[in-house]
Structure 1
């Protein structure tokens, strides 16, 4: 896929999220029942579960941040297993949602776009409005573009939900429009993505090439 740069940035986003929120993350469902001993037992169990999930998540992020060329088949198998465990063992938590994002990424990297799309659609349907859902929408749009489902992709990224996601949404929009042959609109989308990337201090090399290539095509 063409979104390696975006994936690397998302790994950094996940690391930043962990630094800011991971240590304080607890399972959200609180059961007010039983006596003081029961409450303490429940708290201990929740803390232990949260610590186990955070350790697993950190291991997964660390491995996924390694260059693809350095990842062995055994490493990829291990990452797949960790993502599946996050999703299955910590349902209803942010960790499980990140597990789904990773599973979709691994499927897309392997060329299994049907599996990636199914994973992302399920996550979008369940996730609350916010970073996880917006990331899943942008990634699903990229998967749909690979499947030549261009109108479906455009529908997902038609409106940028938050400025932080302008780069992902506008670039995906540009890719879909380019595939449709709507080059002027594609260039405009790429330019908006480029402007957003510059304002956020992100890498702009790939986006600049896309803008320049379409400018050259227009001149020709």
Structure 2
């Protein structure tokens, strides 16, 4: 019996050797790639956490400089943030904060450039939309209406659809396109939640144009904005 078992075990061992000889290298490489991928993922996660911590420290420095009104230091730190942590949420927040200070200090062109960077490079759609909203506001103040509308065309975050339509109405009204402005404000009024106080402001704009929401046309969208 023992001899029979030994022969059976030897046969299984021979089969295992033959299998490993044929597929051993492939299996080894698959395991190496799998383990390497896992190690890489862990390393990437650790690197991301480390980057986030460093970016957070730099953002605190920028925030303090902005609160102190030190535009030169704020811009300098923002430049460092863009170069080292340009894809992080901190870089996006830094851009908005820097542009705000630049605008307050009368540096309109620099503020537009900073917002333009955020509008094109922010990794999250919400930040890109906010940047475009603010940029459109600056362009509206400078009576660059077509450029402002172009920025709003690129503002695609659904969460800010109401505010985008409201700003579009402001631009169209400044262009003297009252009917298109009414339609844009109506779209904004319908998109903004009833509980949001800003909805009252949009309602007031409609009323000033003789188009209070209860009397406004039923169309959900406006047309002919660029005509």
The answer for the alignment partner of 1:176 in structure 2 is: 171
Following superposition, which runs of at least 4 residues in structure 1 exceed 6 angstroms of deviation?
39-45, 58-61
TM normalised by structure 2 equals 0.60
Gaps of 5+ in 2: 1-35, 212-227
Q: Structure 1 residues 58, 203: closer, same or farther in 2, change over 3 A?
A: farther
User: Please, which runs of 5 or more residues in structure 1 have no aligned partner?
Assistant: 1-32, 64-72
Alignment-derived partner of residue 132 in structure 2 = 137
Shift of 1:171: 1.5
Structure 1 position 176, deviation (Å): 0.6
1:113/1:147 contact within 8 Å kept: no
- Which residue in the other structure is 1:54 paired with? 56
Alignment partner of 1:80 out of 74, 83, 93:
74
* CA RMSD in angstroms, aligned pairs only: 3.7
Q: Is the 8 A contact 2:102 2:111 kept in 1?
A: yes
Q: After superposition, where does 1:137-156 map in structure 2 within 5 Å?
A: 137-156=132-151
- Structure 1 length as normaliser, TM-score? 0.61
Deviation at 1:193, TM superposition (A): 1.6
- Partner Cα distance (2:169, 2:121) in 1: 27
| Correspondence for 2:93 | 98
Question: How far apart are 1:97 and its partner, in Å?
Answer: 2.0
Distance 1:169 1:44 in 2: 38
Larger radius of gyration: 2
Deviation at 1:151, TM superposition (A): 0.9
